[in-house]
Structures are given as C-alpha cells and as structure tokens.
Chain A
Amino acid sequence: MSAPPAPAADADPDGEKPAIEVQGLTKRFGDKTVVDGFDMTVPRGTIYGFLGPNGSGKTTTIRMMCGLLTADGGTGRCLGFDIRSQTREIKERVGYMTQRFSLYEDLSIRENLDFMGRMYRLDRRRERVSQALEDLGLAGRSGQLAGALSGGWKQRLALAACLLNQPMLLLLDEPTAGVDPKARRDFWDEIRRLADNGVTVLVSTHYMDEAVQCDAIAYIAYGRKLIEGPTADVPRRVGLTTWRVEGPGLAMLAQALQGAPGVEQVARFGSALHVSGTDAATLDATAETRSASGPQRWTRQEAGLEEVFIHLMGGARDNFAAASADVDGS
C-alpha cells in the first residue's frame, strides 16, 4: 500500500520554503557554457514545466539540482538542502527519472524495483515492491526482463522506480518522449494525482499540450532562461501580438507574408493562419493593408501559448548545432 506522502513528511527545517530554489546556476563543459546564470524557484506542490529546444541545458540543470553534476557557479537548495554540500540528503528524498531509460535491462522488472528499494534502504521492501508491481499492472510479468518492455512500459516502470522511496520532489526529464498519446495521458493523470498529494514535480518536455498542463513554466535556450512564470501569464509576458486570418488562398498569403514588416511568425492552425510579431504597431499596419487589399478576413486576437512556443522555439531551433559563445539570449 503506497500511502500518499504528506507534504510535511520530510521534517527538514525549511518545510515551507520552495521545493527548488537556485540562483546563478552555471555549468561549463570544457570552454562551452552549457548552463549560464540560471535562476529558478519552484514552489511546493506545483507542477513546473521546463521547456527548451534540444541541447539548451535542461538535463544539465536537472542533474545539478539533484547532485549528479557539480555546478561551476551559483547556489541552490532542493527541499531545503544545499545542492553542493548536501547531495546525499537530496538524493534520499528526490525521485529522478532520467531522460533515457536507465534501469537495468538485464534485470527483471521485480529485480529492478527490488534493487532500488535496497538502495533507499526501505522498510517493508518486498511489500512495497509487490504493491508497486500491482499498481503498475505488471504483477503478472514481474519476472520479465526490463529490456523486453516497450517504450511506454519502460517509462511507467521508471516512474514506479523513482516513486518507490515516496519522494517529495520529482525531477522528470522528458518523461514522455517517444511514448504513445494514450500512455502520455495516463502518465499526466498520475503526475497530477501526485501533485494533488503535495509532491512537487519539475518536468522537462517538448510537447505544448503538456506545457499547458503545468502550473508554471520556465523556458530555456542556450543555457539561459528566457522566460518564467505562471503558465497563463506567459503569453502576455512574451508580448506577442497575433492576427488570425481566414479565407481563400492562405498558402499563397503565407508565402507572401514571410518577411513582411512586423511579421515574425506565420503558423497554420486548422483552416486559419496565425500571424504574430512582437512589434504590435508595425504588425497592425501590415494587417490593415493586407486585409484591405485581399479576400481574407483578418481578426486581431490574444496570442495563445501555442504561438508563444512557436515563437520561442523559432528563436532557437536546435542548440546542439550552435556555438554557445556567440548567442546573447535571443
């Protein structure tokens, strides 16, 4: 029986402080600064989305938070423990799900859970492992090798493994990458259930529909945080203006709009185009002209999260390719 952990179960003195609080976190690999002056505050009990293109430094940041990498600069606390000097205390209380499946493929499902149970020196280990298998719906296949599981099952097993020690903080690194939509939905139901029980969840993701489900999000590119805030607030903070265009000849129009004054992004949403830009006045002028001269209908509307993410992603497509030095937060 896995009793939901009470928020105050870990009686660390800073129980009311944020679950994660880092300032100026910096990590260099060689002469490459991979994470640069990163600040983040995650209040207890929230689902916090961590967004950014590939290679932007999400995994590196998460690893620094749970003591797997040593920060080159900055300070921080996780569940009230110092991320430099108290990594053991943090590791005892945090559930970390790696981006890549990293349980033992040549151990069976039960052996993997049992191993993790021993590593955390859990009491009633057998009982807990059996319960976890039961919850997973894998009780009948517990002798199967973990390597033989499909992607979705591996992900569920990995989650079960890092929940075994009933952590107060979950660090999930792209947990749903390569998992089918049904499994993703189930996964998020589980995340929400945990959050309702007071567990803080930091989850990195690529998917917009998942970002929308977070209470708050931070967006990182080239190792720098570009934006952070409650999810509903983010579009306003980015300051994006969007025009919705409907009517005939949208494909042609989309072409024509590339590079037009004030137009930074043209995206197709169903039967409409969403034309966005940060310079509202110029974009409005372009829209007025176009709507007067063309057959399409133009309406100004609030920029949604979708537009914001396309905007942010467009700014930094793939951070692996670029040298980090010449980028200045754009």
Chain B
Amino acid sequence: MAPEPATGRRPSRNGFSPARFGAVLVKEFVQMRRDRLTLAMMIAVPIMQLLLFGFAINSDPRHLPTLVEINDQGPVSRAFLAALETSGYFDVQGRVAGASAAERALRRGEATFVVVVPDGFERALVRGERPAILLAADAGDPAATGGATAALSGIVARVLETSLTGPLSHLRPPEAAFSVVVQRHYNPAGVTSFNIVPGLLAVILSMTMVMITAIAIVREAERGTMETLIATPVRPAEVMLGKILPYVLVGYVQTAVFLTLALLGFQVPFAGSAVAFLLGLNLFIVVNLSLGFLFSTVARSQMQAMQMSFFYMLPSILLSGFMFPFAGMPGWAQVLGSAVPTTHFIRILRGVMLKGAGLGDILDELGALAAILAVVAGLAMARYRQTLD
C-alpha cells in the first residue's frame, strides 16, 4: 500500500469520515446561504404566523352583533338589554320587527343574535308567570356563540338581583342549595394566545423542518448532483448527518425568534423547566428532520416532496390538539394523532410553558417522540439508496 501517497489520497479507513461529513456540512451551509429566499422564509414564516395566529384568532369572541325586537318596554327588559351589552359579548346594534326580519338578519349574517322580548313580558313577570325572553342565535359556528350563551345565566341572575327590588323582591329565585366553584388553572383569564402560541411553535417547526430536509435531498436527485455525490466514496451516514445538522440550527433560530416574540410580544408565560423544554425541542427537531429524510426517499421531485410535506401537515394541525381539543376526538383519531410527533411536542410545550412542568412530567411524551424517531429513522435508513437503482 506504500504508493498510496502518489495519488494524494489519505489511506482509506472504512469507517465514518469526519472530513467527508464536514464537506457535506460546509456545502449545505453554503447552499443555504445562497438560497436567500428560502432563508428569509424560514425566519419570516414563524414571525408572520405568530402575528396572525396571536392577534387574529380568538376562540372566545366578544362584541357579537345583536339585534333586538322589543314588544314590551319595561324596567326589567331594559335592564336585561343593558346587562347584555355590559357583558361584552353582545353588541346591540339596532332593532328588528317581526320574526321574518329576524330570521333574515341571521341568515345574512347581519346579526349573530336576535333578542325577542315578547308582548306583555313585564305584566306576566309581575304576575309570577315566569315569561320567557327568546334569544335566537346563529349557532352555525358553535365556537362563535358558545362563550356568549354560556355567559347568559350569569347575566340573567344579575338582572334579577338588581331589578327585582321592593315589591317585586318576592319574585327572586331562592338561593341554590349548593354551588360550584370553578378554578381556572394555568390560563385563568382564558387568553386564547396562551393556548395557540405554544402549539404554533410545534406546527411551524414541523412544517419547516420536514419540508426543508425533504426538498434539500430531493433537489440533489432532481438536479443530478446526487450522481456526483454518490460516485465519491461517501457513506450514507455522512450524507444524512451532513444534510440534517444545518437544519437543526435553522430550527434553533426559528425557535429563538419565535419564543422571543411570544414571551415579549404576547406575554405568554414560560413557567416550567428549560431543560425539559430543550430536551423536547431537540428530540422533536430530529424526528421531523428524519421524517423529511424519509419523504425524500419516496418523492421523485421537489414538487412531490412539497406535496407530501403539506399532506403531512394536515394531521399535525388537525389531530395534534393544536386546533381542536385532543380529548374531544373519537378513538381512531386519537390513535392517529398519537402517531404524529407534533401531538407530543404540543403537550410538552403547553406543559412546560403554561403549567410549569419539569422533566419528570414530560417523560411519557419524550418516550413517544423517541419511539416515533426510532421507527422513522429506521425506515429512512432502510429506504436510503447508495445507488441510483
């Protein structure tokens, strides 16, 4: 083997070569830096999403347009309408006359609620006939009307308390035999963004990590550079790690930008253990990069890689508990959702940020992520070809 130096090659060892791994890494960084648009997107997307979701989405909407049909004026009905307004949920915008006009207003979306005070309401009230006020709601979107209707019983109780005084006080309902005290933990004010923002970090990270790796690898095949790459003595692990590592860093940058904005801009709390958070974050990033790698072994073009990534986003948005409560899903959907890494990372994030969870509280979720990683990475390794076959 003495003449080896004549060809300038270092004696070949058969194992993993840090030099080649480094070469892939450097190349990947240079390419990433040249691709300004993608780089800008990777930073801009989390910011934009955070602003959109953080400011625009409110799962407990207030100031819903309300119309009233008053067929009997009196102190109690007036007090009731005033109480509706002060609750913040109802915005009384005008009057309607007749059932058909009310129906039309709801159908056209001009009003979310129509309040009808019936004829002879006040008289019936005084006689103790327990008359009814009608609240017609556009319940096509339950989320929109849910909070408002839930607030109604409180409103009625307050109106009864304040307006049934003096001679009418005998009409007041008796005190309830027992009461329920509700303690709202972790997000007492029910701020939607506290729930959305941690989940959003998981969704954004997943989307960029999966898509970027899938595309970065398929791009080599599509442009033909894969042929040059595998015509060298490179090993699969050198390619895989060299390609994945730069995007781990991208994931860190995204997370840092996102968290800074979330903590400072939206005052989202971060109550728990930073160690637990970092552990979950790293595991989650690597799972997603492996998933992207797996997709790249299936997709034949960058377009296909993109489509697969988008397709994957559906379960990770819909079944992960990000949009809709996980517990409210049917069993099969929960099973599917549990197979999605985002589900577990969202739980970790909500646990750590809102509930002050520590490492011990998230072990189950870490275990689930590790299990998914083992399966995905195994599949990706098995599918990765060192040839063009």
Residues of A within 8 A of B (CB): 3, 5-6, 8-11, 63, 66-70, 88-89, 91-94, 96, 98, 100-107, 111, 115-116, 118-124, 128, 161, 165-166, 168
| Tally of contacts, chain A with chain B, CB under 8 A | 110
Q: Complex formed: what's the CA distance from A68 to B230 in Å? A: 7
The listed residue (B1, B34, B223, B232) touching A116 by CB distance below 8 A is B232
Q: Complex formed: what's the CA distance from A70 to B186 in Å? A: 59
Q: Complex formed: what's the CA distance from A298 to B319 in Å? A: 84
Give the shortest distance, in Å, between A191 (CB) and chain B (any CB): 19
Instruction: Note all chain B residues with C-beta closer than 8 A to A68.
Output: 227, 230-231, 387-388
The listed residue (B30, B224, B234) touching A102 by CB distance below 8 A is B224
Give the shortest distance, in Å, between A40 (CB) and chain B (any CB): 19
Instruction: Note all chain A residues with C-beta closer than 8 A to B387.
Output: 67-70
Whether a CB of chain A sits under 8 angstroms from the CB of B331 is: no
| Contact status B225-A103, CB under 8 Å | yes
Which 9 residue pairs of A and B lie closest in terms of their CB atoms, listed nearest first?
Answer: A118-B23, A119-B232, A102-B224, A9-B6, A102-B228, A91-B233, A96-B231, A166-B7, A121-B10
| Contact status A6-B6, CB under 8 Å | yes
Give the shortest distance, in Å, between B185 (CB) and chain A (any CB): 52
Whether a CB of chain A sits under 8 angstroms from the CB of B389 is: yes
Instruction: Note all chain B residues with C-beta closer than 8 A to A102.
Output: 223-228
User: Which of B14-22, B281-289, B340-348, B362-370 is found at the contact surface with chain A?
Assistant: B14-22
Q: Complex formed: what's the CA distance from A118 to B30 in Å? A: 15
Residues of B within 8 A of A (CB): 1-10, 12, 14, 17, 19-20, 22-23, 26-27, 30-31, 34-35, 223-234, 387-389
Q: Complex formed: what's the CA distance from A116 to B181 in Å? A: 71
A sample of 8 more A-B contacts (CB under 8 A), given A6-B6, A68-B231, A121-B19, is A68-B230, A98-B231, A102-B225, A105-B223, A106-B31, A120-B9, A121-B17, A122-B9
Chain A residue at smallest Cβ distance from B230: A68
Give the shortest distance, in Å, between A180 (CB) and chain B (any CB): 22
| Contact status B9-A118, CB under 8 Å | no
Q: List 28 A-B contacts (CB under 8 A).
A: A68-B230, A68-B231, A68-B388, A69-B388, A88-B12, A88-B233, A89-B12, A91-B231, A91-B233, A92-B9, A93-B7, A102-B225, A102-B228, A106-B31, A107-B30, A111-B27, A115-B26, A115-B27, A116-B228, A118-B20, A118-B26, A119-B23, A119-B232, A120-B232, A124-B8, A128-B8, A161-B228, A166-B8
Q: Complex formed: what's the CA distance from A94 to B17 in Å? A: 19
Chain B residue at smallest Cβ distance from A98: B227
| Contact status B228-A98, CB under 8 Å | yes
- With contacts A69-B387, A104-B31 taken as known, whether A5 is within 8 angstroms of B230 at the C-beta atoms is no
Instruction: Note all chain B residues with C-beta closer than 8 A to A128.
Output: 8
The listed residue (A9, A115, A120, A161) touching B233 by CB distance below 8 A is A120
Give the shortest distance, in Å, between A142 (CB) and chain B (any CB): 14
| Contact status A91-B232, CB under 8 Å | yes
Q: Complex formed: what's the CA distance from A261 to B31 in Å? A: 63
Chain A residue at smallest Cβ distance from B32: A106
Q: Complex formed: what's the CA distance from A212 to B234 in Å? A: 36
Instruction: Note all chain A residues with C-beta closer than 8 A to B8.
Output: 120, 122-124, 128, 165-166
Q: Which of A3, A96, A121, A166 has the most CB of B within 10 A?
A: A121
Q: Complex formed: what's the CA distance from A106 to B224 in Å? A: 13
Instruction: Note all chain B residues with C-beta closer than 8 A to A66.
Output: 231
The listed residue (B5, B6, B9) touching A121 by CB distance below 8 A is B9
The listed residue (A103, A111, A115, A165) touching B9 by CB distance below 8 A is A165
The listed residue (A5, A67, A111, A116) touching B30 by CB distance below 8 A is A111
Give the shortest distance, in Å, between B242 (CB) and chain A (any CB): 11
| Contact status A100-B233, CB under 8 Å | no
Chain B residue at smallest Cβ distance from A66: B231
Q: Complex formed: what's the CA distance from A70 to B229 in Å? A: 17
